[in-house]
Amino acid sequence: MVQKENVFRSIKVVELASFLAAPICGRFLADLGAEVIKIESLSGDELRYVATGEGRPFDPYEDTTWDLENAGKKSIAVNLKHESGKEVLLKLLKDANVFITNWRTSALVRNGLDYDTLRLKYPKLIFAQITGYGNKGPDKDLPGFDFTAFFARGGWLGTLYEKGTEPFNIPAGGGDHQAGMFLAAGILAALYRAEKTGKGEMVSVSLFHSAIFDLAVMIQSAQYGKVLYPIHKRDKINPLELPYKTKDDRYIQLAMPPYNRYYPVFIEAIGRPDLKDDERFKDINTMGENSKLVYDIVKEAMSTKTLAEWKKILTEADIPFAIAQLWEEILEDEQAWANDFLYKMKYDNGNVRTLIRPPVQFKEMGLPEYKRGPYLGENSREILQSLGYSDEEIKYLLDNKVVGDRIEIKKPS
């Protein structure tokens, strides 16, 4: 179902941001119907050059990561170090509703683009910023990527691996996308406030805060000193919240936080009804070190059957579980396709690739159109004309490399 109505068509968003976290926020607003104008340097967002590191062929005309973050936007390439380039940005902000950036605050201040400066010129503007570590404190101006500010500083990398082994391999974008969607939620709240009061707002989200919010249950519990990570899986208090290997070397993740309720059903499902009423195992509050024995029992039982066999058994018993899927399996996941989590994009070169939608859906508004991200400076002329620049003025900006017009992206040497 294609989107029925464009209720956000009156919203204008100016995005001065690179890579993933802030751009995915702009992508979501573009999906809603907002006009999102992405400002890039004349060399382009560095995200345009990461294909090889992600295992994709370098092709600016078939760039799935770029489209994931930037679908539906317009691009203008501007040299902001030139006074005429900065004037273009300020003219864009004059009638904008939202300004999204992931520039560090120190850089924004140097360029007169910080919230306190812009609010004097544009009092109704929503200023939305992604930072690595927040806007205060000794580390506020450190460079922040999700690898560092989210996964490492935020407590994921140092805890969520088997004790005695090494930290897991970080997936690109995992923290960025969460922070970006948090920022989108804040922007929508600020837009509602602006509509009611006529006043703008500064909305900020940091990768660090996003990470510790996601781990809040465990971080808060850590202050009691009972559970210290990393741990051996065998030492986990609730052994029914762990992944177990099947006979055919696949993993199944169990999820039974209310241990006492699920234990008798699960232990019977895995072929050990003799342990159903065993006083050592049936109550998590008194089980103590016997949890290790439950782990051993479950581990042994799970190793005796294949993934397909366990899927049937656990589904029939209504046990909460999921197969630890491989990424290529997700591309073919029937449930994902049935719910429009995935979609097909046909590129100008004729190739058709699978892309993933942002994770918010609307019943009445429907789905947005399938649009690729813009080529570098693809909309520069159109945007300048909309700002009132004459043909002569546009020619001056282009000739003097203040603005670029559909610049070719070349593979890094």
First to last CA, the chain: 43
pLDDT (0 to 100) of residue 413:
77
Taking alpha carbons only, the member of 239, 246, 236 closest to residue 314 is: 246
Q: What per-residue confidence (pLDDT) applies to 406?
A: 95
Residues 248, 43: Cα–Cα separation, whole Å? 49
Q: Are 167 and 147 in contact (CB under 8 A)?
A: no
The angle that helices 174-197 and 21-32 make with each other, rounded to 10 degrees, is 50
Phi and psi, residue 314, nearest 5°: -70, -35
Q: Which CATH architecture has domain 12-214+351-404?
A: 3-Layer(aba) Sandwich (3.40)
- Whether pTM exceeds 0.75: yes
- What's the pLDDT at 103? 97
Second CATH level (architecture) for the domain 232-328:
2-Layer Sandwich (3.30)
Instruction: Name the E strands within 347-402.
Output: 352-356
- How many C-beta atoms surround the C-beta of residue 268 within 10 A? 14
Pick the closest to residue 211 from 158, 167, 265, 259 (CA basis). 158
Q: How many residues does the chain have?
A: 413
- The tens-digit pLDDT sequence of the chain (413 residues) is 445 557 799 999 999 999 999 999 999 999 999 999 999 999 999 999 999 999 999 999 999 999 999 999 999 999 999 999 999 999 999 999 999 999 999 999 999 999 999 999 999 999 999 999 999 999 999 999 999 999 999 999 999 999 999 999 999 999 999 999 999 999 999 999 999 999 999 999 999 999 999 999 999 999 998 877 899 999 999 999 999 999 999 999 999 999 999 999 999 999 999 999 999 999 999 999 999 999 999 999 999 999 999 999 999 999 999 999 999 999 999 999 999 999 999 998 899 999 999 999 999 888 888 789 999 999 999 999 999 999 999 999 999 999 999 999 999 87
Using DSSP, state whether 85 is helix, strand or coil: helix
* Chain centroid to CA 233: 28
Query: Structure tokens of 35?
Result: 């006009």
pLDDT of residue 299: 98
Question: In the annotation, is 176 catalytic?
Answer: yes
For 10, what's the count of Cα atoms within 13 Å in the CB-facing half-sphere? Answer: 3
pLDDT score recorded for residue 370: 79
* Distance, CA of 380 to CA of 389 (rounded, Å): 11
Residue 33 DSSP symbol? T
Domain with CATH 3.30.1540.10 in the chain: 232-328
From the list 356, 349, 244, 358, the residue with the least C-alpha distance to 303 is: 244
Q: Where are the alpha helices (DSSP H) in 270-388?
A: 284-287, 291-302, 307-316, 327-330, 334-338, 380-386
**pLDDT tens digit sequence for 173-212:** 999 999 999 999 999 999 999 999 999 999 999 999 999 9
Tell me which residue of 7, 16, 60, 56 sits closest to 37, measured CA to CA. 16
| Contacts of residue 49, Cβ cutoff 8 Å, sequence gap at least 6 | 58, 409, 412
Residue holding tokens 């201040």? 109
The reported pLDDT for the residue numbered 1 is 44
Give residue 369's pLDDT.
Answer: 83
Single out the catalytic residue among 67, 114, 146, 176. 176
Residues of the chain with CATH 3.40.50.10540: 12-214+351-404
CA distance 138 to 364: 46
Q: Which residues are registered as beta bridge partners of 343?
A: 355
How far apart CA 42 and CA 201 sit, in angstroms, is 30
Torsion of CA 302, 306, 310, 311, to 10 degrees: 140
Give residue 296's Cα distance to chain centre.
36
**Amino acid 379: pLDDT:** 98
